[in-house]
């Protein structure tokens, strides 16, 4: 009788299972690659299917680089607060019907889960 360990190591079934598991890991990795977001090479903004990034590019890169946006992460209300602050203090125009698209895009792609914060203090 061979010890159980030897039996397992030499088992063709075990090899098959290992190969199968490895294939799954590789396939999952390849799938993750597909999910990598495309970035606009000019602005640095994440390209979304709904093309809201273009609305953001038009409104939000007129005065400063999109880097101010892409380096931070905020929830929707904090993005809204930032927009209000720029409207009140920095001459940003009213965004009208583009505003919800912009806020959705920003909070989806540059959301609070990125764990970054604004440099300035919150408005009182
Ligand atoms: C009319 C000019 C103007 C436009 C248009 C504009 N901003 Fe700004 N924004 C500013 C100024 C000025 C600052 C301050 C820059 C600095 O601190 O050097 C600023 C700063 C910021 C900051 C950094 C805030 C901080 O406290 O760190 C973010 C984020 C930002 N803008 C996002 C946006 C977004 C999103 C849009 C589009 C909705 C936008 N900006 C459009 C003028 C503008």
Among 39, 62, 56, smallest CA distance to 105 is for 56
Cα 56 from chain centre: 15
Model confidence at 9: pLDDT above 70: no
Pairwise CA distance, residues 58 & 56, whole Å: 5
Half-sphere exposure of 32 (CA within 13 A, CB side): 6
Pairwise CA distance, residues 72 & 103, whole Å: 14
* Test site for ligand 1: of 45, 57, 61, 63, most ligand atoms within 8 A of the Cβ: 63
Lowest mean pLDDT, pick from 58-62, 69-73, 79-83, 114-118: 114-118
83 CA → ligand 1 middle, Å: 8
Looking from the CA of residue 69, the nearest atom of ligand 1 is: 29
**Cβ partners under 8 Å of residue 45, min gap 6:** 39, 53, 56, 57, 66, 69, 70, 109
36 CA → ligand 1 middle, Å: 27
Tell me, what's the pLDDT at 29?
53
Instruction: Name which residue leads in pLDDT, 93 or 28.
Output: 93
Looking from the CA of residue 74, the nearest atom of ligand 1 is: 29
% of the chain surpassing 70 pLDDT: 65
Tell me, what's the pLDDT at 123?
60
**70-91, pLDDT tens digit by residue?**
999 999 999 999 999 999 999 9
């Amino acid at each position: 009788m061979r010890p159980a360990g030897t039996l397992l190591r030499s088992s063709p079934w075990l090899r098959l299972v290992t190969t199968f598991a490895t294939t799954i890991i590789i396939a999952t990795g390849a799938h993750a690659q597909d999910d990598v977001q495309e970035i606009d090479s000019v602005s640095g903004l994440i390209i979304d299917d709904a093309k809201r990034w273009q609305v953001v590019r038009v409104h939000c890169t007129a005065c400063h680089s999109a880097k101010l946006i892409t380096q931070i992460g905020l929830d929707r209300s904090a993005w809204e607060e930032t927009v209000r602050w720029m409207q009140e203090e920095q001459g940003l125009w009213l965004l009208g019907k583009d505003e919800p698209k912009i806020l959705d895009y920003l909070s989806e792609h540059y959301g609070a889960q990125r764990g970054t914060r604004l440099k300035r203090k919150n408005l009182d």
